[in-house]
Amino acid sequence: MSIETILYIIIAGVIAIALALFMYGYRSKQKRSLRWIFGVLRFVTLFSILLLIINPKFKSETYTIEKPKLPVLLDNSASIGELEQMENVSELLQKLKENKKLNDKFDISYFSFGSDFRENDSLSFDEKNTNISKALASTNEIFNNQTAPTLLITDGNQTLGNDYEFSSTNFKNPIFPVIMGDSIKYTDLKIEQLNTNRYAFLKNKFPVEVILTYSGNISVNSEFVVTQGSSTVYRESVSFSGNETSKTLNFTLSANSVGLQKYTAQILPLADEKNKTNNSKQFAVEVIDQATNVLVISKMSHPDLGALKKAISTNEQRTVTFKKPLEAIRILNDYQLVIIYQPDRNFASVFSEMDKLKKNSWIISGLQTDWYFLNAAQSNFKKKSSNQSDEIQAKLNTNYGTFAVADIGFENFPPLHTSFGTLTVNVPNEVMLEQTVNGIATGNPLFATMEINGKRDAIWDGEGFWRWRAHSFVETNSFQSFDDFIGNIVQYLASNKRRSRLEVASETFYYNNSSIKVSAQYFDKNYVFDNRASLNISVKNQENEKQTIFPMLLRNNYFEVDLNSLPAGEYSYTVSVEDEGVSSGGNFTILDFNVEQQFLNADVSKLKRVAENTNGKAYFTSESDALIQALIANTNFQNMERSEQKVVPFVDWKYLLALIVLALAAEWFIRKYNGLI
Average pLDDT over residues 22-37: 72
Taking only the tens place, the pLDDT of each residue in 587-631 is: 999 988 777 777 878 889 999 999 999 999 999 998 999 999 999
Question: Residue 660's CB: how many other CB atoms inside 10 A?
Answer: 18
CA–CA separation, 152 and 132 (whole Å): 9
**Residues of CATH 3.40.50.880 domain(s) within the chain?**
292-493
Q: 29: pLDDT confidence band, cut at 50, 70 and 90?
A: low
Statement: residue 27 has pLDDT above 70: no
Instruction: Examine the pLDDT at 454 and tell me if it is beyond 90.
Output: no
Residue 647: pLDDT over 80: no
| Per-residue pLDDT reduced to its tens digit, 231-290 | 999 999 999 998 999 999 999 999 988 888 999 999 999 988 888 888 999 999 988 887
Options 3.30.413.10, 3.40.50.410, 1.10.1740.10, 3.20.20.140; CATH of 68-184+601-638: 3.40.50.410
**What is the residue-averaged pLDDT of the chain?**
88
Mean pLDDT on 650-677: 79
Stretch among 148-152, 420-424, 427-431, 494-498 having the lowest mean pLDDT: 494-498
Given CATH 2.60.40.10, say whether it is the number of domain 502-595: yes
Alpha carbon separation from 109 to 12, 139, 154 (Å, rounded): 54, 11, 16
For CATH 3.40.50.410, the residue range(s) in the chain are: 68-184+601-638
Query: How confident is the model at residue 24, as a pLDDT?
Result: 74
Rounded mean pLDDT, 49-58: 80
Predicted confidence at residue 584, as pLDDT, reads 92
User: What is the residue-wise DSSP string for 177-220?
Assistant: EEE-S--PPPPEEEEEEEEE-SEEETT-EEEEEEEEEEE-SS-E
Tens digit of pLDDT for each residue in 619-643? 999 899 999 999 999 988 888 777 6
Single-letter amino acid, residue 171: F
Domain with CATH 2.60.40.10 in the chain: 188-288, 502-595
Confidence of residue 383 (pLDDT cuts 50, 70, 90): very high
pLDDT at 28: 64
- Fold assignment, 188-288: Immunoglobulin-like (2.60.40)
**Single-letter residue type at 634:** N
- Give residue-wise pLDDT tens across range 328-376: 999 999 999 999 999 999 999 999 999 999 999 999 999 999 999 999 9
pLDDT confidence of residue 580? 85
pLDDT at position 1, please? Answer: 63
Reported as a pLDDT band with limits 50, 70 and 90, residue 47 is confident
CA-CA distances (angstroms) from residue 347 to 57, 336, 350, 460? 74, 19, 5, 17
pLDDT digits (tens, 9 = 90+) for 548-586: 999 999 987 889 999 988 988 999 999 999 988 889 999
Task: Report percent pLDDT > 70 for the chain.
Answer: 97
What values do phi and psi take at 38, rounded to 5?
Answer: -65, -35
Nearest to 89, CA basis, from 40, 134, 36, 154: 154
Is pLDDT at 475 greater than 70 in this prediction? yes
Rounded Cα distance, 406 and 433, in Å: 12
- Residues 112-136: tens digit of each pLDDT: 999 889 988 788 888 888 999 999 9
**pLDDT on residue 630:** 93
d(CA 648, CA 426): 63
Top CATH class of 292-493 equals alpha beta
Question: Comparing 175-179, 596-600, 668-672, which segment has the lowest mean pLDDT?
Answer: 596-600
